[in-house]
């Protein structure tokens, strides 16, 4: 990066040499802090984030809260649990979104409900630029009208926006108000936004949550409204409550493990920790997650994200607690919104991770958990709506924390 030693603290009323003062080769630790901003772009973005509502109750769920007690019992008896996952879908009259939705619906079999996906975990950006009743009707309920499974979600940046890119309102006066109305009802039921489309939505406790399910613990996090990077812990918008809760929850899961209950652990967050196309990876956010994990004595077995409108798979290699771990990191922002380019994956290792697979195309993930393994499979959906396996199935052995 070009030398630009004198642009970190511009004189009052004087123009900068470049569009922002952080285009410099001066190390962050040596830069003068700009009042009200900080000394890096990350600090500036954090000043633009929005407060979000506290959970309406303890942020934990059981599988029975989603698919009923009988459904949860069937999953337990089957010793098999799977679900869909994808993000970045919201698109009014979006053909690709409906094609992905229809493709996922083919994985359901009413004669064998325990072998069907338990739900769709939406990885954020349910809605784009229209957080109103009309927006949810057109961009969510209509495209998923034939999808038979329940849908749970973590919010994406567009779900929390109050103003869109041109400065006009998105239709909600408080961040996540529309998301709350549809995903965080006080009790399960068909929200008014669904209109004449019958879709029972559950009562999520909030924007972040823990699903304590058979064979797997799933933690959903909210990474706020930034186009990039993502944040989970900004004090001024209530983020510390989320990270305090995350440490507490991870500690509880680790305690279960020491008691002999070794389940898979999956973390879902909208902004990707690693990315090679569409949006950059959120390395500082990953450090925050790592810190919570380290303090709790536990690391995830898999991480899911979206935000970049494509498919990407990474493998992270790390030694944790004396064990060498291989952790798959997925970007699945390919649920229907317009695609963006992504670099070709080479499998070459850089730092602690390798970039192993990528696709500028639509599709979805199927995650499967059993007593001893956690797996993920990406299915591509082409322009005609046809399904095909794009990437190899990744299987994590829960005893060794290695990819088989």
Supply the pLDDT for residue 117. Answer: 97
Mention every residue, 6+ apart, whose C-beta is less than 8 A from residue 210.
Answer: 59, 60, 61, 217, 218, 219, 220, 249, 253
> Quick check: 9 pLDDT over 50?
no
Give 4's pLDDT tier (boundaries 50, 70, 90): very low
Give the separation between CA 127 and CA 156, rounded to whole angstroms.
9
Higher per-residue confidence, 321 vs 289: 289
> Quick check: 392 pLDDT over 50?
yes
Fold type of domain 50-403:
Purple Acid Phosphatase; chain A, domain 2 (3.60.21)
Supply the pLDDT for residue 184. Answer: 97
Q: Is residue 159 within 8 Å of 207, Cβ to Cβ?
A: no
> Quick check: 118 pLDDT over 70?
yes
Concatenate the DSSP letters of all residues of 30-90 into one string: GSPPBTTTBSSHHHHHHTT----PPPSS-SEEETHHHHHHHHHHHHHHHT-EEEEEE----
Give 401's pLDDT tier (boundaries 50, 70, 90): very high
Supply the pLDDT for residue 12. Answer: 53
Convert the pLDDT of each residue in 133-158 to its tens digit.
999 999 999 999 999 999 999 999 99
Supply the pLDDT for residue 8. Answer: 42
Domain boundaries along the sequence of the chain: 1-39, 50-403
pTM summary value: 0.93
Residues in the chain: 404
Give 11's pLDDT tier (boundaries 50, 70, 90): very low
Q: What is the mean pLDDT of residues 21-44?
A: 83
Give 1's pLDDT tier (boundaries 50, 70, 90): very low
Supply the pLDDT for residue 3. Answer: 37
Query: Rounded to 10 degrees, what is the CA torsion of 379, 381, 387, 389?
Result: -30
Higher per-residue confidence, 376 vs 95: 376
């Amino acid at each position: 990066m070009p030398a630009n030693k004198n642009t970190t603290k511009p004189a009052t009323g004087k123009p900068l040499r470049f569009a922002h003062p952080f285009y410099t080769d001066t190390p962050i630790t040596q830069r003068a802090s700009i009042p009200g901003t900080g000394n890096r772009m990350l600090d500036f973005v954090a000043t633009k984030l929005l407060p979000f509502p506290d959970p309406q109750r303890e942020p934990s769920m059981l599988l029975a809260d989603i698919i009923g007690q009988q459904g949860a019992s069937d999953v337990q008896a089957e010793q098999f649990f799977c679900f869909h996952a994808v993000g970045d879908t919201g698109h009014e009259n979006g053909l690709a979104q409906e094609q992905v939705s229809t493709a996922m619906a083919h994985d359901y079999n009413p004669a064998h409900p325990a072998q069907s996906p338990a739900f769709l975990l939406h990885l954020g950006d349910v809605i784009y630029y229209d957080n109103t009743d009309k927006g949810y009707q057109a961009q969510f309920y209509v495209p998923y009208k034939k999808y038979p499974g329940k849908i749970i979600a973590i919010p994406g940046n567009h779900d929390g926006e109050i103003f869109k890119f041109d400065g006009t309102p998105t239709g909600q006066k408080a961040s996540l108000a529309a998301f709350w109305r549809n995903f965080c009802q006080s009790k399960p039921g068909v929200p008014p936004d669904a209109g004449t489309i019958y879709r029972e939505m559950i009562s999520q406790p909030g924007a972040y949550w823990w699903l304590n399910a058979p064979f797997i613990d799933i933690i959903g996090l909210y990474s706020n409204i930034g186009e990039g990077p993502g944040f989970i812990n900004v004090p001024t918008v209530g983020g510390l409550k989320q990270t305090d809760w995350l440490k507490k929850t991870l500690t509880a899961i680790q305690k279960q493990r020491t008691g002999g209950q070794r389940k898979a652990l999956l973390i879902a967050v909208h902004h990707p920790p690693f990315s090679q196309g569409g949006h950059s990876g959120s390395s500082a956010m990953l450090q925050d997650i790592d810190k919570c994990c380290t303090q709790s004595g536990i690391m995830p077995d898999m991480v899911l994200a979206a935000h970049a409108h494509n498919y990407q798979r990474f493998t992270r290699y790390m030694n944790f607690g004396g064990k060498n771990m291989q952790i798959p990191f997925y970007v699945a922002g390919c649920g229907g919104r317009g695609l963006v380019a992504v670099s070709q994956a080479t499998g070459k290792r850089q730092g602690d991770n390798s970039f192993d697979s990528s696709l500028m195309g639509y599709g979805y993930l199927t995650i499967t958990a059993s007593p001893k393994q956690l797996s993920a499979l990406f299915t591509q959906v082409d322009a005609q709506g046809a399904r095909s396996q794009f990437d190899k199935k990744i299987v994590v052995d829960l005893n060794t924390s290695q990819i088989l």
